[in-house]
Structure 1
């Protein structure tokens, strides 16, 4: 599953250039032109990483980063700041307010993508490459294969995407609504209980008699992958 990136950049030409090149690299990109638009986008769907321009109209990137770190749902959201301000004190200021990395303009796309993948490896390792692992489960995105231990797991396309979503952030509880958005998409109407049906199918495929169930149901909240659950 592609990592979702929110680009917050008020210069349209730069925003379009970033979106075009990042989509070529396999990312799913959404663009916001200012802080207010970015906050609306974040309320609608949390990305996996934010590219944040320092010089934004109305609310600066520094202030927006400070706000993200103060909110419970975005406190751990990876943020890379983009700016023409290359002085050491500016870099320190950006990192002090909570940015995970700091890239000065002009920059090469190859360097930016490398830094993005490095941040993702720390925050969500399963998003950084074609193969994701959790306990004894291995998911290969390129070959669309799943193994548990020494046996192949045969999943339908929806169950594959559902497992991929859960493996991106082990331990994190995803609500049914979040899983609907990530697996089925925001533009598709699907009954909320459809998630429960596909979780049931995924469990049946993953678990043989005596296997530990890696999927934890959180009452009234949703589902998570849990190393200790089912022991």
Structure 2
């Protein structure tokens, strides 16, 4: 048992002064508890359990005795810096290839709501096609997402919204040249597409969504303003 009662600077009956090591340990415990509440380890691509029963971080090449210890590691500077480097590298590769339809896995950054704790089916199948308007030569993107296991297709329709580079937490540092199109339909996972941060034409027939109830296919077509 740690004797805090008789440390220099402590008052009798006051419980003593916590050392720097103890404060750091308590901070890690708090981070571990928060991570346990907000992170689904089953979806962590860097967690691997080896034949010895211990856990490995494939990103940092570190070993951990249990899940709680691994979760504490994921909140540390080393792991977070590794995530940032990997995101920057993937963004650079995407820019070099000229891609405008990069699919991004989204991870929770706040406490999960009751609807988010439901079992997810997984990501929907998707297709992205690029074209140009024959009259204006404006660039056009069409997103087609498939939800074959959706039970209540008549009452549950996919929803979409746009997110700025500064709202998202997947790629760091944020690149203001891009924005993100998010499409959600519970219990499937929300998916995001990285597209150029340019004005989108909201004129008649220029931004169209369609939900095919029978085929369970959601289609979204958008045009960029020239």
Structure showing greater Rg:
2
More strand by share: 2
TM-score grouping bracket, smaller chain normalisation: under 0.3
The TM-score, its normalising length taken from structure 2, stands at 0.25
Higher relative contact order (CA 8 A, sep 6+): 2
The TM-score, its normalising length taken from structure 1, stands at 0.25
